[in-house]
Copies of this chain bind each other. A is one copy, B any other.
Amino acid sequence: MPNGNHAEGPLTPGLVFDMLQAHQRTAALKAAIVRDLFRALAEGRGAVASFPPPCSASERGIRILCDFLVINGVLLKEDSRYRHTPTSAAFLDPRSPSSLASLAQFPGNPAMQEPYNHLAEIIRTGRTNMEGDGTVEPENPVWVQFAETMAPMMAPMAGPLGAIVLEGHNGPMHVLDIAAGHGLFGIEVARQNPQARVTGLDWAPVLRVALDNARKAGVHDRYNMLPGSAFEVDFGGPYDAVLLTNFLHHFDKPTNVGLLKKVRASLRPGGRAATLEFVPNEDRVSPPMPAAFSMNMLTSTPAGDAYTLSELTAMYTDAGFGNISGHPIPMSPHTIVMGHA
């Protein structure tokens, strides 16, 4: 995050210039991923003349791009040679198991960025300018892309979520994973508890991605698919637990209360619902990442938001849940909110 203002320091317009040009950073990171720069650097080709495959990039372009990435803290430069920082090696080298390079295709994709060209108008209307209901339009194909590319960002959250949902419970159980997407959360529950059966709910083309991941994890024989809309399909049940990950932020409060009532009705008495959300503090401006997530919801949905813990607790309560608790996941911008039927 950029520096704030320090009352003691002299006033300069640096922060204003910086914001005005911030779009360059997104473009530079995406271009570096497309040009496979982070792989070239990992292979030790750190001198400008050596590392772009000669036909695929110009000396001027690569040099200016690499310098720009150094200025922005994602590369190091020594004696005209570039190399990875620990952060870029971990999260941008495509050979790294924690690589996030695929993210350039979801939050970084043109359809998700286009609304920012019309943000003043979106501020006026208070809702996405995308067709229909934006990303929450039925069968929106962005969710296949989300399922295919966001797994690396969500994978670190799966372990903590599974542990909190199971709480040592290792007997037979049935779990519903609403808006399963890549499926990682339900799959993790199935991995942690070999007697758990998981039903993934999402649009049919998205569930194919989830099933593929279940197969890779060796849990597909305990993975069922329930294709359709969370608002329309019959959940079945009763379930011991329902996962509702990265979902409530797309909708307004009454819609969420309605959905949570439907979730509660599908749970056995004492069963639990677990949401994974970006949960800002009550001031709505900290911590930076969950707080700023509301901007994504403004631009891509009619009425979604990054809800505070008190707002989420109120929705759970209105839907009849009790014993509601928030569990921030360490080192991540996510919080798990649990409620009991």
Interface residue? A29 (CB, 8 A): yes
Main secondary structure of the interface of A (DSSP, over half): helix
Q: A residues touching B (Cβ–Cβ < 8 Å)?
A: 1-5, 7, 10-31, 34-35, 56-62, 64-65, 67-68, 70-74, 77, 85-88, 90-92, 98, 100, 103-104, 107-108, 110, 113, 116-117, 119-120, 122-127, 153, 283-286, 288-289, 291-292, 294-298, 303, 305, 331
Q: Give Cα A153–Cα B13 distance, bound, in whole angstroms.
A: 9
Kindly list chain B residues whose C-beta atoms are within 8 Å of the C-beta of A295. Answer: 24, 28, 64-65, 68
* B126 close to A59 (CB less than 8 A): yes
Q: Give Cα A250–Cα B2 distance, bound, in whole angstroms.
A: 28
Kindly list chain B residues whose C-beta atoms are within 8 Å of the C-beta of A29. Answer: 16, 19-20
Of all chain B residues, the one with the shortest Cβ separation from A60 is B126
* A123 close to B65 (CB less than 8 A): yes
* A16 close to B292 (CB less than 8 A): no
Provided the pairs A74-B19, A291-B67, A295-B24 are in contact, do residues A61 and B10 lie with their beta carbons within 8 angstroms?
Answer: no
Quick one: copies of this chain in the complex? 2
Kindly list chain B residues whose C-beta atoms are within 8 Å of the C-beta of A24. Answer: 22, 116, 292, 295-296
Kindly list chain B residues whose C-beta atoms are within 8 Å of the C-beta of A91. Answer: 11, 13, 16
Q: CB within 8 A of A18: which of B1, B30, B124?
A: B1
* B15 close to A86 (CB less than 8 A): no
Kindly list chain B residues whose C-beta atoms are within 8 Å of the C-beta of A292. Answer: 21, 24, 68, 71-72
Q: CB within 8 A of A60: which of B2, B14, B288, B303?
A: B303
Of all chain B residues, the one with the shortest Cβ separation from A103 is B20
Kindly list chain B residues whose C-beta atoms are within 8 Å of the C-beta of A100. Answer: 13, 16-17
* A5 close to B85 (CB less than 8 A): yes
* A26 close to B22 (CB less than 8 A): yes
Q: Give Cα A70–Cα B10 distance, bound, in whole angstroms.
A: 20
Of all chain B residues, the one with the shortest Cβ separation from A55 is B124
